[in-house]
Amino acid sequence: MNFNVFHGHEYLNLKTFRKSGEAILTPVWFAQVGDTLFITTEPQAGKVKRMRNNGSVEIAACDQVGNLLGDWQPAQAQVLTDEAQCQRAHELLFAKYSASEMMQNLANVPLMARAFIQVVPVGASLLK
């Protein structure tokens, strides 16, 4: 399975799971390089905590409020900790969304004050 279905989309619905198994859906911006997707969020966000506990996620293209535009795809996610990898994710996201006022505001936030998340197809290698 590959992530070609996400090309051309602005938003991704990210489904993470609580320890109880309850699914939580969150529309997010993403940048894509091949079958690797990058997301940024606040380090204290619930999705970060949930992904650290369980890297199994599902993703689907969506609009800005989360209405699905495609089918759910199984994936695996991890929070990046390497500064160079975070810098690359930041650059990709900024290139895609630089016209957004929110992304302009994030440009002034120290890099490691954000959480950067990598999402890949199930079975693909995550960055080390």
Mean pLDDT for the chain overall:
90
Predicted local distance difference test score (pLDDT) of residue 101? 63
Fold of 4-121: Pnp Oxidase; Chain A (2.30.110)
Q: What is the pLDDT of residues 89-107, one digit of tens each?
A: 999 998 888 766 666 566 6
Looking at residue 121, what is its pLDDT?
93
Q: CA of 3: how far to CAs of 45, 54, 81, in Å? A: 25, 21, 23
User: Any idea what DSSP says for residue 124?
Assistant: S
| Reported pTM | 0.89
CB 125 within 8 A of CB 65: no
Structure tokens at 110: 């120290």
pLDDT tens digit sequence for 40-61: 998 999 999 999 999 999 999 9
> Position of tokens 């970060």?
48
- The pLDDT value recorded for residue 109 is 65
Residue 75 pLDDT exceeds 70: yes
